Chains A and B, each alone.
Chain A
C-alpha cells in the first residue's frame, strides 16, 4: 500500500512537471543560448506577449535531431523555432514549415528589405521563415596595433596584402604573431572561406573552387598564415584571445567579438574584413523565426513573431544582445558603445563600394556540415600540413562536386546561377 502511495506521488509529480510546459507557447531557439542572453529574451524581449512563452534553447546539432524526431513521431511540442538560415533550410526541404506569407506582406510594408525577406523563402514559392535578426563577420583590432599599419593603409579599406604586411610588422615589433582566426573545433572558420576568402579571391564559392584564382588565393593565405598566431587552431571565440592579450587583430562573428569590445570600447577599432582581387567578400548571417508544421499553438507563435519584429523589440535586441535589426532602422545614439562600434563596422562593410555579398549555403539539407568540411580540410592540408595546393584543390574539388550533385543544390550568390546542381568548374 505504502509503495502504491509513493508511486502515486511520483506519477503526479512527473505529471505536474510536464503539464505546465504544454500550456505555454514553446519557443525553441539555437540563437541567444548563453544564460545571460536567454535571460534577456525571457525577461525583456518577450515582455508584452499576451500568452506566456516558454523560451528553450538548444545547440544546433541537437536542434536538428529534435526537430526531426518530432516530425517523425508526429507529436509536436514546439510552436515556434528561431534558428539560422542554414539550420532552417533542412526543415523546409522536408516540407516541415508552415508558410508565413501574410506576416511577410505586413513586414514588407513596414520596411523590411525585400532581399532579406526573399532569403526567408529558402528557394520556395512561399515564405518559410521571417528574418528575425542579423549579424555578420568583421575584424577587430586593439588600438595599439594601429601604429604598425603599413604606410598608406586605411583600416576600413584593407586588402589581404596589407593585412599580411601589417601582421609582419606586428610580429617584428612584438616578437609574436598577433593576428588570430577562430579555427578551433567550435570556431566559425569555415565561414571565413565561404563568405570572405573565396569570394574575395575568386568571385565565387563553389564554381571556382579549384580555379587558378583560388590557387593564387591559397598561396596568399599561406603567406598571411605565417604571421597568424598558431594557437588559432584552438580558438573558438575570438573575444577570449583578444581579452587575454594573445592577439591584437582578429576576424570573427560580431556576437563572438562583442564581449571584448563592449568591455573596453575605447581600446578597440572594428572594421570590415579585407578585400582581395575580386572585391570585399562578406557574409550576412540571418536568423529567422519559423512555425513547424503541426505546431500545437500556431496563433501564439504568430503573436510572438509579430512582437519580435516590431521596431521597438528589434532595437532592444540590438541594444541587449548585439544582433542587428532586420527592419530598416537606425540604431539610437545612446546604444552600448561596443555594439555601436560593431554596428558601424557592419554598415561600413555593407556600404563598401567593392562589397561582394556571399549568402549562406542553401539547399544542402543536412549536408551543411560536410560542405564546411571540404573547406576546412583544404585549409588543414594546404596551410597546416603544407601539401601542394593543386593536388589538394583537385581532391577536395572532387568531394565538393559529389556533394553538390548528391544534394542537387543550385548555386547561390556570389556564384552565377545554375540549372540544377551547382557545378565545380
Chain B
C-alpha cells in the first residue's frame, strides 16, 4: 500500500513548482537573456552600455553606501527595541503594534512623508524657522547639499525599514529560554555580558535572517530615494527604472536587474557563510 503512494508528495508540490516555473523562472531567464543579447544574438553590448553610463558608478557607490549606513543602524535599533519590549509586561502588544506601523506604509508613501518634512516648504524648515534658527527656507535635498540629501534618505530608510528587522529579532528573542539568563545572573554576569555572551549568540539564526532580508531590501531601495532625491541620488534600481521607463531601452534595464540580483545573491551567500548557525539549532 505505501509503495503505491510515493508519487503523492510530488503531485502535491507540482502546482507550486509549476507556478514558480511559470511566474518566476521563465521571466528570470528572459531577463537574463535580454541583458546579454542584442537583436537576438548573444552580446555584451547592454552590459557595456550600462557600465559606460554616466550614472553607473555613482549608482553603485550610492547603493552600497546607503546599505552600509542603513543596515547596521537598523540592526542596532531593532535589537534595542526588542530588548526594551522584552522587559515590558503590560502593553507589550500595543507598543509592538505602534512600532510596526511603518511596515504598513508603502515605500513611496514613506518617501512622500519624508519629502513633506524635508522639502523647502516642509515641516523641518517651518520648525527651524519658528525657533529662529534659520532666516529663510534651507534646501536639504538638492544636488548642492549631497550630505544632507544622503542623511535625509538614510533617515527615511531607517524609519521605514527598521520595523521588519525588529519583528524578526523579537521573534528570535522570544525563543531565548529564561533559564540561561537567570543562571548567568546567579553567576554574577552584568547586563552587557548577558547580552553579548548569551542573548546575541542565541538569536543568531534570527539575526542572520534579519540581515539577509534587510540587506537584500537595501540593495533594492528605490521609491524612497526617488521621492526624496529624484535625479540627484542615482541608485541601481532607479537606474533600471529610468532605462526601462524613460529611455525605453529594455536591454540595459535588464542588465541592471541582473546586476542587482547578483549583488543580492552574493550578499545572502556572505551572511550564510559569515554568521554560522549551529547545525543543531537549524530546523
A residues near B, CB below 8 A? 61, 64, 175-176, 183-185, 229-231, 233-234, 244-246, 366-370, 372-373, 377, 380-381, 384
List of 8 A-B pairs having minimum Cβ-Cβ separation, nearest first: A230-B142, A369-B247, A369-B248, A230-B144, A244-B121, A234-B230, A185-B230, A61-B245
Q: Is the CB of B142 within 8 A of A234?
A: yes
Q: Does B232 contact A (CB under 8 A)?
A: yes
How near does chain A come to B250, taking the closest CB pair, in angstroms? 9
Q: Is the CB of B120 within 8 A of A246?
A: yes
Chain A positions within 8 Å of B145 at CB level: 230
Chain B positions within 8 Å of A246 at CB level: 120-121, 137
Chain A positions within 8 Å of B135 at CB level: 175
Residue pairs across A and B with Cβ atoms less than 8 A apart, 30 shown, are: A61-B246, A175-B135, A175-B136, A183-B231, A184-B230, A185-B226, A185-B230, A229-B139, A230-B144, A231-B142, A233-B143, A233-B230, A233-B231, A234-B141, A234-B142, A234-B230, A244-B121, A246-B120, A246-B137, A369-B246, A369-B247, A370-B247, A370-B248, A372-B247, A373-B246, A373-B247, A377-B54, A380-B231, A381-B54, A384-B143
Chain A positions within 8 Å of B54 at CB level: 377, 380-381
DSSP class of B's interface residues: helix, strand, loop or mixed?
loop
**Closest A residue to B245 using CB positions:** A61
Chain B positions within 8 Å of A230 at CB level: 139, 142-145
Q: Does B106 contact A (CB under 8 A)?
A: no
Q: Does B249 contact A (CB under 8 A)?
A: yes
Q: Is the CB of B136 within 8 A of A233?
A: no
Chain B positions within 8 Å of A377 at CB level: 54
In the complex, A372 Cα to B245 Cα: how many Å? 13
Q: Is the CB of A231 within 8 A of B139?
A: yes
Q: Mark B230-241, 1 if CB is under 8 A from A, else 0.
A: 111000000000
Q: Which residues B38-75 have CB closer than 8 A to chain A?
A: 54
Q: Is the CB of A372 within 8 A of B232?
A: no
Q: A185-B231, A234-B142 are in contact. List 10 more A-B contacts (CB 8 A).
A: A184-B231, A185-B246, A230-B143, A230-B144, A231-B142, A234-B119, A234-B231, A369-B246, A380-B54, A384-B143
In the complex, A367 Cα to B251 Cα: how many Å? 13
In the complex, A369 Cα to B232 Cα: how many Å? 19
In the complex, A415 Cα to B139 Cα: how many Å? 40
In the complex, A184 Cα to B246 Cα: how many Å? 13
Q: Is the CB of B230 within 8 A of A369?
A: no
In the complex, A367 Cα to B119 Cα: how many Å? 34
